Amino acid sequence: MPLLDLSLRPSLSPEPSPLSVDVRRGLAALLRERIGHDLTPARLEQVVPVFNDLFDRSGAASLPEFLSRLDAEPSDGPALQKLTTAATIKESYFFRDRSTMTALRERILPALIDRCRATRVLRIWSAGCSSGEELYSIAILLSELLPDMGRWSLFLTGTDVDGWSIRRARRAIYGHWSLRVADDEEKQRYFQYDRRLQCFRLQARFRSNVSFALHNLVDPHAETPAPGHFDLILCRNVLGYFDARSRQVALGQIRRALAPHGVWVAGASDPLPDSGFQTRIVGDVVAHELLPAELSDASEVSQHPLGCVGEAPETLPAPPHAAPEVSAPPPYSRERLVSGALAESAAFEAEPHAAALVAYDEACMLVEAGQFVNALAALERLHGVQPLWPEPYLLSARAFEALGDDQRAIEALHKVASLAPDRKEAWLRLGLLLSRSGQRAAAMDALRRVAAVDEHLGVEPKAQRLREQAARELSRLAGGSAP
């Protein structure tokens, strides 16, 4: 089976690496400045190995020099994107906060639909959309609220600062974790199912009006998407991560993007804006609208051409005539939809790599969230369909190790080593685990392989670190004498 490209995935490399206090501070300051986050010490720990890895590959002479290079890189540059992926919390799932979904379905969306019925144009922005679950949930709600949906022009835009999330959103394939509050009927009605990997692909009809783009809410120079035109903005569970300055920049973006009558739905525990908005509680939902004083600004900018939003039209405001006549979809019928989903599932199964990547991504997220048992269940399925792919075994080893099951972690690492004998990390981890479990000779054998791989691959800084760690352990096992 072809090896899958994992270079864009979040790194889960566990090697601890000493960083001076100054460099650590510099890294935290860089991320605060660029993505607005005040990282917790635990989060910073997750970013450090990624930072080290980037440094090793950069050719920079020193860490401070590398930090200044990063400082000059744009937010969508490759190195900053990898750090962003490691630094951001991407937790999201379909129909998150049922009470919010109810308020949207029963009150907020019907009111906006009424208001926009004359033009039949509706624009919705999920700001900080993660992998798309929030925006697609709205697409599903709209499909049920608009029986004449084909006659509407819907622009559903999701943006996020993290490119990895945007790619996942565009793929629209999800694991169980993203559907944790969806019931069986919802899964059947809205998704196609890959039985082997137990992944769900959102049906095409919910994807057709949706686009995703990179956008940084805290970049004061970032263009506001479609200024003055969004009828609804969802910015939930995002602002709470920002420091005070960044929050003000993000609020400015939301303020500029809202249509005069628009509504911004926030998360229940999100910080409240201190000015510029009036806040209403709709059902259990915190909804903000522009204060009258803000309106002149918003309508002024509403003449501006569109900002960054991918597939939306080039100029706004709304077209003067109604959207072109497109025949309305036939009324909802459960049988028809289910059989449609089954018919399409053959095409889905013809894309095993996409489904495998999703399953792998989900397993990464589960490990990151400390859900080791769930991660192992997902990985077990993945091993069943992609038995020759080493990466998932490496992840299994991490999860077993975290659960204290060294024996099964060792088995998983043996698999990696046999499938990818050049993986130094696998040999090193295997050696350390074997050593811990008292299998001295096997441990020494595995640790020697770290150096052997180096000879074959040549020396780079990361390889050097791994080799030093292996040599230290070897020396300890050999009773102090160098092996």
Ligand X SMILES: C[S@@+](CC[C@H](N)C(=O)[O-])C[C@H]1O[C@@H](n2cnc3c(N)ncnc32)[C@H](O)[C@@H]1O
Q: Is 35 in the site for ligand X (CB under 6 A)?
A: yes
Q: Which of 104, 108, 156, 217 binds ligand X (CB under 6 A)?
A: 217
Handedness of CA 410, 414, 415, 420 (dihedral sign): positive
**Residue 256 binding ligand X, by CB under 6 A:** no
List the structure tokens of 149: 């949906």
Helix (H, G, I), strand (E, B) or coil at 282: strand
Beta bridge partners, 160, equal 214
Count of residues in contact with ligand X, rule CB under 6 A:
23
Token look-up 């006659």 returns: 151
CB of 201 to ligand X, least distance (A): 19
Decide: is 401 part of the binding site for ligand X (CB under 6 A): no
Is 236 a binding residue for ligand X by CB under 6 A? The answer is yes
User: Taking the complex as a whole, how short is the minimal distance between the CB of residue 23 and ligand X, in angstroms?
Assistant: 23
Q: Does 225 bind ligand X (CB under 6 A)?
A: no
Instruction: Report the distance separating Cα 478 and Cα 170, nearest Å.
Output: 52
Q: Which residues contact 68 (CB under 8 A, 6 or more apart)?
A: none
Of 39, 112, 161, 318, the one binding ligand X by CB under 6 A: 161
Contact 263, 136 (CB under 8 A): no
Q: Does 53 bind ligand X (CB under 6 A)?
A: no
Q: Look at the alpha carbons of 23, 29, 31, 33 in this order and tell me if their dihedral is positive or negative.
A: negative
In the complex, minimum distance from the CB of residue 229 to ligand X, in angstroms, rounded to a whole number: 19
Minimum Å gap between C-beta 268 and ligand X is 10
Cβ closer to ligand X: 119 or 211?
Answer: 211
Q: Is 81 in the site for ligand X (CB under 6 A)?
A: no
What stretches of 327-423 show up as alpha helix (H) in DSSP? 334-349, 352-368, 372-385, 390-402, 406-419
User: Angle 78-87/41-58 helices, nearest 10 degrees?
Assistant: 160
Q: How far is the CB of 91 from ligand X (least distance, A)?
A: 5
Contact between 162 and ligand X by CB under 6 A: the answer reads yes
Residues 82-111 interacting with ligand X (rule: CB under 6 A): 88-92, 96
Residue 216 or 469: the one with the smaller Cβ distance to ligand X is 216
64 three-class SS: helix
Query: Distance between CA atoms of 98 and 102, rounded to whole angstroms?
Result: 6
With binding defined as CB under 6 A, does residue 132 bind ligand X?
A: no
Which of 423, 415, 348 shows the shortest CA–CA distance to 386?
Answer: 415
CB 179 to ligand X: min, Å: 13
Rule CB under 6 A: choose which of 10, 26, 49, 128 binds ligand X: 128
Are 385 and 356 in contact by the 8 Å Cβ rule? The answer is yes
For ligand X, the binding residues in 368-397 under the rule CB under 6 A are none
Query: Least separation, in Å, of the C-beta of 220 and ligand X?
Result: 11
Sole binder of ligand X in the list 100, 153, 216, 224 (CB under 6 A): 216
Q: Does 237 bind ligand X (CB under 6 A)?
A: yes
Q: Does residue 362 interact with ligand X by CB under 6 A?
A: no
Cα 418 off chain centre by: 31
Q: Return the residues of window 330-349 that contact ligand X according to CB under 6 A.
A: none
Closer residue to ligand X (CB): 32 or 449: 32
Sequence-distant (≥ 6) Cβ neighbours of residue 163 within 8 angstroms: 8, 76, 81, 84, 85, 214
Confirm or reject binding of residue 141 to ligand X (CB under 6 A). Answer: no
Interface ranges with ligand X (CB under 6 A):
35-36, 88-92, 96, 128-130, 134, 160-162, 165, 216-218, 236-238, 241
